């Protein structure tokens, strides 16, 4: 029993590890006390569930177009798989989900059993990459007219789909159409340059809600 956390610092570290690690939690009965209506494990699960719901909310805010494409239930299944494989280690949530697109690419379900890649998974990964890069530019400094742009290539025009979702529309999933984009930030707004679009239009994109909201 010498490993039972007793100091405040030890209990804080134990709580962090317990929240991040799925499965059986050691020393639960020694740290949590039971109440008249709940066991120690039931009381801990209240904290654990609240923590997971908070992370899922942040993921929904970070990837609104993916949420629209998949629907909430399927989106949260993908998000929880990512969070279980890549637990958040930061006290702030700004970077939560940064490696979500890479996780999707590594664990794509269509090729898990040796099957061929499916187009909808390609679309999903491209959309996740775009939403991540959009947030990266949004959270960075203004680049100005001649500043460095973030270059983005995709197999689908995911920027148009994401813009439609942000404007409250109900877009259909786009078909395959390779695009090469550049993203800049001006006056706190992300500007998406699409040379493949007719007239080489620049789309000004408003910011999505902050995960900290």
pLDDT at 20: 67
- Within the chain, which residues score under 70 in pLDDT? 1-2, 5, 14-24, 144-147, 198-213
**pTM score:** 0.80
pLDDT at 212: 41
Q: Are 94 and 139 in contact (CB under 8 A)?
A: yes
For 127-186, the pLDDT digits (tens) are 999 999 999 999 999 986 666 899 999 999 999 999 999 999 999 999 999 999 999 999
pLDDT at 170: 96
pLDDT at 100: 96
For 43, what's the count of Cα atoms within 13 Å in the CB-facing half-sphere?
14
């Amino acid at each position: 029993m010498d490993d039972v956390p007793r100091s405040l610092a030890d209990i804080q570290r134990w709580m962090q590890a317990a929240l991040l690690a799925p499965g059986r939690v050691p020393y639960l009965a020694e740290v949590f006390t039971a109440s008249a209506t709940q066991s120690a494990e039931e009381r801990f699960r209240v904290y654990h569930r609240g923590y997971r719901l908070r992370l899922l909310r942040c993921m929904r805010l970070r990837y609104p177009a993916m949420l629209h494409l998949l629907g909430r239930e399927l989106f949260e299944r993908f998000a929880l798989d990512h969070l279980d494989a890549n637990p958040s280690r930061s006290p702030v949530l700004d970077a939560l989900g940064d490696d979500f697109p890479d996780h999707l690419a590594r664990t794509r379900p269509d090729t898990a059993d040796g099957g061929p890649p499916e187009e909808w998974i390609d679309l999903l990964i491209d959309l996740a990459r775009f939403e991540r890069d959009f947030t990266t530019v949004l959270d960075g400094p203004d680049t100005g007219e001649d500043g460095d742009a973030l270059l983005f290539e995709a197999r689908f025009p995911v920027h148009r789909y994401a813009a439609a979702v942000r404007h409250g529309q109900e877009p259909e999933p786009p078909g395959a159409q390779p695009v090469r984009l550049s993203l800049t930030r001006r006056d706190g707004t992300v500007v998406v340059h699409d040379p493949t679009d007719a007239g080489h239009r620049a789309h000004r994109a408003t910011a999505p809600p902050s995960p900290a909201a």
